Amino acid sequence: MRCRISPTLAVRSLLSLLLLLCAAQGVSAADYPTKPVTILVGQAAGGSTDLGARVFASLLEKEFGQPVIVVNKPGGSQQVAANELVRLPADGYNLLFVNFPALNTVILQPARKATFDLNDFEFIANQVKDQGIIIVKPNGPYKDCKDLIEDAKKRSGQVRIGLQGILTHAHFGALLLEREAGVKVRTVQQFEGSGAVAAAVMGGHIDAGIDRVGSYATKVLAGDLKAIAIMDSERSPFLPDVPTSTELGYPKWKTASSAGLLARKGTPAPILKKLETAALKIMNDPEHVKKMTTMGQRLGIMGGAEYRKYAEDWHRVTKEMMELFAAKPKQ
């Protein structure tokens, strides 16, 4: 004898189950967080991204009333930390502080064999957008950026520009300079750290260096280096007298390094909203602004939707730069 279930009873049971699930999600979002939150950072302790994450974490801890722990997972240009996040539960208790376009490069470079892409992350808020800068030796041959470009035209492929590694935001700055100004330069890519690039410029071993404003502003203000362009449409608040690439006639010559907060794909929308609201409140708080400014970090505050678009735009640019680099004759 077969046991038949009434259709009405089945529908009622299904509705009850859905209501219970919705109620459970609502309670978890309303109470979140009920335990410590971990923020993974893909760089070693003491770097600019790590320091910014720790300033943010300390204020988020006050906002949420729960411990917010920063855990450094350096390796693979953030690949180690991103891999860890996508293996953890999508519950809002494990987050990632990350840089773009560095993560775009990890995803797009075939040799890295990344097991994730942009769609594996939820975008919460961006904290920092550190503009690109090109620096030269004070009292050297270049009084401004026009001089450097003219020299690059006369000595095609001979002007040496130092940077940290290939397919970094600094490397993109050099590639974009070539494309937009119609010149060829020689990139010197083996430097480890902005300090090594600065020393090579000051010692006359290379003609110029590219990195972030935050890496060089102190040395520029001290007179050890000279900044000849900010690679953006807006001037730097730290170096307001330095012209932008847009002002110089190259509006597409832009590069920057951002730092912001991601969650794993599938984190409940109410929890994401709570995180985004808290993050934007903290990032606009005068205490946060003062601390970041004191560290020489330029804020570039974006909410989740704007932040996602920013990362997607960088994905497109990164693809373009990778194709441009692949087509270049090897130095």
If you write DSSP's letter for every residue of 26-70 in order, what string do you get?
Answer: HHHHHH--SS-EEEEESS-TTSHHHHHHHHHHHHHHHHHTS-EEE
Same domain for 122 and 57? yes
Within-domain flag for 221: yes
| Any domain includes 83 | yes
134: helix, strand or coil: strand
CATH number at residue 117: 3.40.190.150
Q: Are strands 226-231 and 208-212 parallel, antiparallel or unpaired?
A: unpaired
The more confidently predicted of residues 300 and 48 is 300
Confidence of residue 330 (pLDDT cuts 50, 70, 90): confident
Please check whether residue 206 lies inside any domain of the structure. yes
Side-chain half-sphere CA neighbours of 95 within 13 A? 29
Quick check: 26 pLDDT over 70?
no
Strand pairing of 121-136 and 256-264?
antiparallel
**Largest Cα–Cα distance of the chain, in whole Å?**
98
Mean pLDDT, rounded, for 25-37? 78
- Provide the pLDDT confidence category of residue 17 given band limits of 50, 70 and 90: low
Average pLDDT (25-31) is 62
| pLDDT value of position 6 | 52
Mean pLDDT of the chain: 91
Record the tokens describing residue 202, joined without a space: 């000051």
What pLDDT shows up at residue 331? Answer: 62
- Asked whether residue 144 is assigned to any structural domain, the reply reads yes
Please check whether residues 150 and 292 belong to one and the same domain: no
Residues 145 and 65 in one domain: no
Check if the beta carbon of residue 245 is closer than 8 Å to that of residue 235: no
Mark residue 126 as left, alpha or beta (left: phi above 0; alpha: psi -120 to 50; beta: remaining).
beta
The answer to whether residues 238 and 286 belong to one domain is no
Last residue of a domain, one of 255, 284, 299: 255
214 and 290 part of one domain: no
Q: What is the pLDDT of residue 58?
A: 97
Residues 119 and 266 in one domain: yes
My answer on whether 57 and 102 are in the same domain is yes
CB neighbourhood size of 175 (10 A):
23
Tell me, yes or no, whether 63 and 93 share the same domain: yes
Pair (167, 58) in one structural domain: no
Instruction: Give the structural domain span for 312.
Output: 36-129+256-322
Residue 213 and residue 169 share a domain: yes
Instruction: Tally the domains of the chain.
Output: 2
Task: Give the CA distances from residue 132 to residues 1, 118, 227, in Å, rounded to whole numbers and listed in that order.
Answer: 77, 23, 11
Residue 210, domain CATH: 3.40.190.10
DSSP lists the bridge partners of residue 41 as 72, 97
User: Strand pairing of 121-136 and 226-231?
Assistant: antiparallel
Compute the C-alpha angle 8/11/17, nearest 5°.
140
Evaluate if residue 16 carries a pLDDT over 70: no
**N-to-C CA span, the chain:** 82
Using only the alpha carbons of the chain, give its radius of gyration.
23
Instruction: For 198-235, write each residue's pLDDT tens digit.
Output: 999 999 999 999 999 999 999 999 999 999 999 999 99
pLDDT at 191: 85
Q: Are residues 163 and 307 in the same domain?
A: no
Can you name the residues that pair with 187 across neighbouring β-strands? 161
